[in-house]
Every structure is written in structure tokens, then in C-alpha cells.
């Protein structure tokens, strides 16, 4: 049996843990640079505010309805996610995070009633230890566990935990559009609907072998999954980090190459930290820049360039050098740039890396330097030690006018209990 645990309105919930006065009140979180809505409380959803809508389009409605606005604080959300995952891991044989707010759990061989009771206890423990509300779906396959989780979220009478089994599976799948199934994208949904397959139940009644011939082996396995036969192991379907990205919009238009170089160097540094946390190296780095498409009256330009590296590396200094080379290839004067990004591509695990005789840059001393850099920045805060190319006081940084404190990762922001 599998379970999928998912944090409810995760970013909003993280904010409410430390500001509980907003419980039950309309609350939303904005994307980087305060651009779009990326998290909504149930009260905001009831107002008809859609996910991803640009903030300026709903700003007046938010003011009228008294919606509390937060700028995104991914350092806080990442730390809260780590805490939630640690508690969830205590209640499972094995756990594999699927995203910042989701994790698949492999459960034991107990009866369904026992497993459901265990998951209710685990849900309460997460709430007690972290303050975060979660929903948990239980089922014999990962795809059905995902569907059970969605059902638990939409039906308050489940109290956040729902177990799907042979007795209720068809009724639940009959209420679910085929496009709501895990692994069904928009194009695939359109193809299935043209075949008369409208619901998840319709798909479960199809012939797996026929679906393999019409589509691929993944579709065959998906059909078997929703029929109740487990085909995906706990690890399958999880992100293997095909790329690591660091992208941001600027707080104001950037026209000078020097400022773009500072931004690209900063984003490369951030991506390298993520890569080293996962014990990875990359064979290529891609840089892109673009202007503001929402201002068509201005000259528009967008471009990207990828540099292949002579050997895989996780050295920030070396990768900044290559990223800046890529930037200089695509930079054009006379444009007001709105956004830049860095992708680290062709990733491999450290354990799969073989050192090369003629690669003196990537030495044990370099690896020790990077480890020390990460340790100091984690302890004393980002940008404590960084490459000079990142700039001292950059003016291009994104807007974050309503960002909450780093309650759990910065001593100055820890809440004080006054008596």
C-alpha cells in the first residue's frame, strides 16, 4: 500500500504557522518579484482568484475583500518542507519526496483500517510538530494514492485522510475527469476524450494492451495502476533533476551588461548550491535573457545560449565563468531586460564522476572550498561569502515588498516569547 501526503495550500500554510491571525481569512502568496498568484487559501479560491493570475489584475479585488498578501519566501518554505518530511518519514517504511509539499510513503502490510488509523495519527503529528495541515490519500498504487489525496482535499468529511479500495474505487474514479489523473497532460487528455474517454473510470475500463499499442508502455502501466495493479515502484515517477534552474525577474528594467553579469553570476551561485545539496555535477550551463513581454510598446528581445563544459563540475567559480561567456554571446545593447535565468544541464551524480588527468580545475581542494562556502552561507545567511562578480549592493534585485521574516533559518527573525 502507498500513501501520498500533501501540504494543504502549502505556502499559505507556512505563513499562517507564524501569523495565525490570518487563519480563516483570505490569504495569498505572490511569485518572485510579486508578479503572479502562486498560492491561495480556500477563502481566496472562493473569491474566484485563479492560480497564476497576474497580481495587478486582482489587486483591486484583493484590497476590496481584505486579502492578506505575502511575497514568496522560499527559504522559509524549503525549511518547513524539510521539517514536514522528517515527521512523515517517521510514519512510513520508506518515504520519497515528490515536490516541496508532497511525498509518497510506502506503508506496511497491516489492514486497511489500521493503515488509515496510522495515517490519521501521522497527520495529527505533522500538525502538532510543524503547524502544517496535510491531506493523505491511501491506495494500493501510487496513481490511486494521488487520486485518493485529491478526494481527501475536496471532501471535508474525510478529515484529511481517505483510503481508496476496490469497494469505492469506481465511484471515486467516476467523479474524476481523466485530465485530473496523475500523468495525464493536456494533449493526452484531448486524445483520450476524442476516443470517448472522459473520466478516470472510463480509462480504467479500457484494455491495457490496446492503450499500449495506441500510445506507449507508460499508458499501459497507468491503466493497470488505476485498475489496482501496482506498476510504479516508490521511486519511479519522481524527479531525477534533469536540470537545475535559478531564474528571477528584476525589480526594475536592466539595460547595462554589468548588472546582467551580476544577476547571472548570482543565479549561477544559487543553482550550484542546489546542485551540491543533491550531490550532483553538470556538463553544461545555459543562460537566457528576455525583455518584458507585457510592455509591447518597448523593443522586444529574448535569447539563450548553452556552453558545454570540458568535464562535469560543481565548482561555482568555474561555472560562473562559463555562464558569463554565454551571456556575452547573447547580450544586445539598447534593450530593457526584465528577466534572466541559468540552467545547469546534463547532470550526473558525484558517485558516477570520474576525474580526468588534464582537468586541474576540479581538485579535492576545490571541492573542500565549495563545501566550506556552503557551510558558512548556510550558517550565517546567503551572500555571506560570494564571488565578487555577484555585486555588493545590486539594484536589480526583485521586488519583495511583503516578504515575511525567515522565522526558522535566521537568528534575527526567530519569534520572541515575551512574558
pLDDT tens sequence across 128-164:
999 999 999 999 999 999 999 999 999 999 999 999 9
Neighbours of 218 (CB within 10 A): 15
DSSP state of 416: P
- Asked if residue 346 is part of any domain, the answer here is yes
Closest alpha carbon to 190 in 199, 179, 177:
179
Residue 398 confidence class, pLDDT cut points 50, 70, 90: low
- Asked if residue 211 is part of any domain, the answer here is no
Is 285 in contact with 306 (CB distance < 8 Å)?
Answer: yes
Beta-carbon-side half-sphere exposure of residue 391 (alpha carbons within 13 Å) = 16
- The Cα diameter of the chain in Å comes to 70
Is 309 in contact with 291 (CB distance < 8 Å)?
Answer: no
Distance CA 301, CA 292 (A): 9
Residue 239 confidence class, pLDDT cut points 50, 70, 90: very low
Distance CA 316, CA 378 (A): 16
- Asked if residue 367 is part of any domain, the answer here is yes
Element (H, E) at 84: helix 74-89
- Asked if residue 327 is part of any domain, the answer here is yes
Q: Extract the C-alpha cell encoding 167.
A: 469497494
- pLDDT given at position 347: 84
- Asked if residue 13 is part of any domain, the answer here is no
Partners of residue 104 on adjacent β-strands: 4, 96
Q: Kindly give, in sequence order, each residue whose CB lies less than 8 Å from that of residue 102, ignoring residues fewer than 6 positions away.
A: 4, 5, 6, 7
- Range of 255's domain? 243-390
- Asked if residue 142 is part of any domain, the answer here is no
Neighbours of 155 (CB within 10 A): 13
- The position carrying cell 531525477 is 240
- Asked if residue 295 is part of any domain, the answer here is yes
- pLDDT given at position 353: 57
pLDDT tens sequence across 190-234:
999 999 999 999 999 999 999 899 988 888 999 999 999 888 776
In total, how many domains does the chain have?
1
Selected residue with higher pLDDT from 122 and 240 = 122
The strand pair at 27-30 and 68-71 is best described as parallel
- Asked if residue 98 is part of any domain, the answer here is no
3-state secondary structure of 87: helix
Is 378 in contact with 270 (CB distance < 8 Å)?
Answer: no
Percent of the chain with pLDDT over 70: 94
The strand pair at 161-163 and 134-139 is best described as parallel
Is 282 in contact with 309 (CB distance < 8 Å)?
Answer: yes
Is 226 in contact with 203 (CB distance < 8 Å)?
Answer: yes
CATH number at residue 362: 3.30.1490.100
> Is this structure's pTM higher than 0.85?
no
Amino acid at each position: 500500500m502507498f500513501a501520498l501526503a500533501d501540504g494543504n495550500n502549502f505556502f499559505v500554510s507556512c505563513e499562517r504557522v507564524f501569523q495565525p491571525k490570518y487563519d480563516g481569512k483570505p490569504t495569498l502568496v505572490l511569485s518572485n518579484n510579486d508578479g503572479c498568484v502562486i498560492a491561495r487559501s480556500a477563502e481566496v479560491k472562493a473569491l474566484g482568484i485563479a492560480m497564476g493570475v497576474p497580481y495587478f489584475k486582482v489587486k483591486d479585488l484583493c484590497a476590496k475583500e481584505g486579502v492578506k498578501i505575502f511575497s514568496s519566501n522560499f527559504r522559509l518554505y524549503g525549511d518547513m518542507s524539510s521539517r514536514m518530511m522528517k515527521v512523515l518519514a517517521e510514519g512510513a517504511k520508506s518515504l520519497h519526496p515528490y515536490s516541496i509539499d508532497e511525498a509518497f510513503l510506502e506503508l506496511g502490510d497491516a489492514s486497511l483500517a489500521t493503515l488509515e488509523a496510522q495515517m490519521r495519527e501521522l497527520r495529527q503529528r505533522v500538525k502538532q510538530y510543524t503547524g502544517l495541515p496535510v491531506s493523505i490519500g491511501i491506495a494500493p498504487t501510487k496513481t490511486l494514492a494521488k487520486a485518493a489525496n485529491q478526494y481527501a482535499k475536496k471532501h471535508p468529511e474525510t478529515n484529511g485522510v481517505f483510503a481508496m479500495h476496490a469497494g469505492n474505487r469506481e465511484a471515486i474514479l467516476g467523479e474524476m475527469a481523466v485530465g485530473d489523473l496523475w500523468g495525464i497532460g493536456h494533449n493526452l487528455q484531448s486524445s483520450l476524450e476524442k476516443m470517448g474517454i472522459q473520466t478516470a473510470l472510463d480509462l480504467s475500463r479500457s484494455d491495457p494492451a490496446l492503450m499500449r499499442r495506441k500510445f506507449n508502455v507508460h499508458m499501459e502501466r497507468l491503466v493497470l495502476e488505476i485498475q489496482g495493479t501496482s506498476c510504479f515502484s516508490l521511486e519511479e515517477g519522481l524527479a531525477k533533476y534533469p536540470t537545475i534552474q535559478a531564474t528571477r525577474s528584476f525589480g526594475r528594467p536592466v539595460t547595462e551588461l554589468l548588472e546582467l553579469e551580476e544577476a547571472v553570476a548570482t543565479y549561477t551561485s544559487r543553482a550550484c548550491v542546489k546542485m551540491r545539496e543533491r550531490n550532483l555535477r553538470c556538463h553544461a550551463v545555459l543562460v537566457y535573457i528576455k525583455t518584458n513581454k507585457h510592455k509591447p510598446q518597448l523593443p522586444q528581445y529574448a535569447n539563450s545560449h548553452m556552453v558545454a563544459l570540458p568535464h562535469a563540475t560543481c565548482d561555482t567559480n568555474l561555472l560562473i565563468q562559463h555562464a558569463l561567456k554565454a551571456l556575452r554571446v547573447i547580450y544586445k545593447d539598447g534593450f530593457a531586460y526584465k528577466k534572466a535565468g541559468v540552467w545547469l544541464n546534463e547532470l550526473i551524480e558525484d558517485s558516477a564522476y570520474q576525474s580526468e588527468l588534464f582537468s586541474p580545475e576540479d581538485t579535492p581542494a576545490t571541492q573542500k572550498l565549495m563545501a566550506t562556502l556552503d557551510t558558512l552561507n548556510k550558517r550565517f545567511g546567503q551572500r555571506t561569502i560570494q564571488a565578487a562578480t555577484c555585486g555588493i549592493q545590486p539594484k536589480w534585485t526583485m521586488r519583495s515588498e511583503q516578504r515575511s521574516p525567515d522565522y526558522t533559518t535566521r537568528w534575527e527573525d526567530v519569534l520572541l516569547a515575551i512574558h
